[in-house]
Each structure stands twice: as structure tokens, then as C-alpha cells.
Amino acid sequence: MERPQWSLSDFEIGKFIGEGKFGKVYLAREKQSGYVVALKVIFKKKLEKYRFHSHLRREIEIQRGLDHPNVLRLFAWFHDADRVVLVLEYAARGELYKLLRSIGRFSERTAATYAASLAGALAYCHKKQVIHRDIKPENLLLDIEGRLKIADFGWAVQSNAKRHTLCGTIDYLAPEMVEKKAHGYAVDNWTLGILCYEFLYGSPPFEAAEQNDTLMRIVKVDLMFPLTPYVSADAKDLICKLLVKDSSKRISLDDILKHPWIIKNADPSGSISPSERS
Ligand code: AMP
């Protein structure tokens, strides 16, 4: 899928997949190769309205440089007078979020497999000096084999320096972001802890009726595990090692992959069939 200049006429446009804040996503087939992709069509007017140009440019620059089995590929992009079009890897099984909400919570095998995929993908991103900063179930897609793909690099940054901007969805914010302190790579490790909890219990750990209460619970690391026989001590141990207030003391991504819960439960292929999920 390399070509100096792409245009919409290179694709047969198929079914409408969904709509985000900035544009519509369609299934498409590249005419010459027959390759199936997802086209994200973004209207320039919307970008102007929300002043989102720089985010999109950053998303494109970052995602173009990443090539990992658990990071959604951005094969190419092009634009015409009205639209910017992203040519993306097609994630046939859609949003992990919808799956989680529909079945309530994942089995330990599924949760550990997704956690290992995320840790591997984040380690790869961090080595490339990319911090995602907005990992949440809505930004995780599943391909036809049930393999997790990190998507949406709109909030990611590529930098060695520590950052100060507050971004991300509140339940997934690390304490250093809530407190508007400088933050670095370890914000993604925190979020991985939130996600492990949510995969296993069905909702994020610091959820509260009021946003301010969530923020307070995050800052205090007010972590409680509901009494349920389903979640193992190993899983809780890993979550406790990720949800640590001092970002320098959080378990590293490499050590997550060596943690007993991951070793015992994660499927090395990274793919989960529908029957294995719950
Ligand atoms: P977004 O604009 O990224 O919020 O996406 C809008 C809708 O399209 C959401 O339901 C996404 O899950 C879906 N979507 C976005 N990108 C892809 C993709 N590469 N493959 C499959 N579905 C996607």
C-alpha cells in the first residue's frame, strides 16, 4: 500500500462503519490490490471549528511511524479541498468497549491477553518516544482474529520532555495529570492498571457519581476490590503494582510481561475467540 499520491477514486467504498467527532469511517477496498481497509473521512470544516488541525497532524505523524501487531496501522493519508482521508487497518470486530459493556466483564484469560498486548504495544511506543496518554476502551479496537489494536493517537505526544497538559478521559487519568504535575511515560502504565481492573470487574476503579469525586479518589488512590470469587490474587497484585501514586514506582511494561498473572493467563498469540471472552 505505498503510492506517492492517493485519492478517493483508488477505493471502492463499502459499508458505513461509524461516526466519530470529526468524521465518518467506511469499509473500503483498494481497487488495484483488493486490500480491505477502513477509510476515516474527516471534514476540514469540522477541524477548523474545533481547532483540531494540530492534533490531527500529530496523530498522523505519530501513527505513520508505528508498526506493531497491536497498534492500528495508518497506511496512508491524503486530502482534497474539503476532506482529509486516513487509510487505516480495518479492525473487523470493532470497539473493545462495546464488547466489554455487552458481556459485563472479561475472563482472566481474556483480560490478561489484552493486558499483555497493551503492555507490548506501549513498550514499543515508549521505545519510539511516543506516550499515548488516552488509552481507554473506546480507543482499543479488535481485528478479525480478536487481537487488540491501539487506535486514536490524537492525544499522543512524541517527546522526551515531561508534559504538563491535562488530557484524557477522567476515569483513566493518572494522579500526576489530575494534579497538573509534569508527567511522562508512566501515565500509560497507570492507565493499564485502570484497564486491567475494568476488564475484570466491568467498571473502572475510581468511578463516582460526580467527576470531582473521581478525581479525588484517583489522587488518594482509593482502590477497593469488590468481593468476588472471580478475580485471582495474582490479578489484584498486578493492579496494585500499576496503580501506584509515585509514577517512578509503578511496575515497568517489561516486568508486566513477566508477572505471574500474565504468564499464567495470557494467550501468547494475542488473539481471543468469541467463546473465550467471558
Ligand atoms: P472514530 O472517529 O475513531 O471515533 O470512529 C468512529 C467509529 O468507527 C467508531 O465506532 C470506531 O470504532 C469505528 N472505527 C474507527 N476506525 C476503525 C477501524 N480502523 N476499523 C474498524 N472500525 C473503526
Helices (H), the chain: 44-49, 53-64, 96-103, 108-127, 175-178, 186-201, 211-220, 233-242, 253-258, 260-265
For 149-161, what is each residue's pLDDT tens digit?
A: 998 766 555 554 4
**Which of 68, 89, 110 is the last residue before a domain boundary?**
89
Average pLDDT, rounded, for the chain: 88
Ligand 1 in reach of 6 Cβ (< 6 A): no
Measured on CA atoms in the order 224, 230, 236, 239, is the torsion positive or negative? Answer: negative
For 131-155, what is each residue's pLDDT tens digit?
A: 776 777 878 999 999 999 998 766 5
Return phi, psi of residue 249, to 5°: -100, 0
Does 50 lie in the same domain as 14?
yes
For position 126, what pLDDT does the model report? 87
Q: Ligand 1 centre from 151 Cα, in Å? A: 9
For the chain, the domain total comes to 2
For 189-236, what is each residue's pLDDT tens digit?
A: 999 999 999 999 999 999 999 999 999 999 999 999 998 878 999 999
Residue ranges making up the domain that contains 82: 8-89
Ligand 1 in reach of 240 Cβ (< 6 A): no
Which cell goes with 189? 502504565
Q: Ligand 1 centre from 173 Cα, in Å? A: 22
Does 124 lie in the same domain as 44?
no
Does 64 lie in the same domain as 120?
no
Q: Is residue 181 part of a domain?
A: yes
C-alpha 139/C-alpha 50 separation (Å) is 20
Q: Ligand 1 centre from 141 Cα, in Å? A: 8
Does 236 lie in the same domain as 188?
yes
Does 103 lie in the same domain as 33?
no
Does 108 lie in the same domain as 81?
no
Does 236 lie in the same domain as 100?
yes
Ligand 1 in reach of 27 Cβ (< 6 A): no
Atom 19 of ligand 1: nearest residue by CA position: 90
Q: Is residue 2 part of a domain?
A: no
134 flagged as catalytic: yes
Looking at ligand 1, which atom is closest to the CA of residue 138? 12
Does 218 lie in the same domain as 124?
yes
DSSP bridge pairs for 89: 37
Q: Ligand 1 centre from 66 Cα, in Å? A: 18
Ligand 1 in reach of 152 Cβ (< 6 A): yes
Residue 45 belongs to a domain with what CATH number?
3.30.200.20
C-alpha 205/C-alpha 193 separation (Å) is 9
Does 70 lie in the same domain as 165?
no
Does 230 lie in the same domain as 132?
yes
Does 108 lie in the same domain as 85?
no
Whether the Cβ atoms of residue 184 and residue 131 lie closer than 8 Å to each other: yes
Q: Is residue 255 part of a domain?
A: yes
Ligand 1 in reach of 61 Cβ (< 6 A): no
Distances (CA, A) of 87 to 74, 139, 148, 186: 6, 17, 19, 30
Lowest mean pLDDT among 52-61, 74-83, 101-110, 203-212: 52-61
Residue type (1 letter), 192: L
Residue 126 belongs to a domain with what CATH number?
1.10.510.10
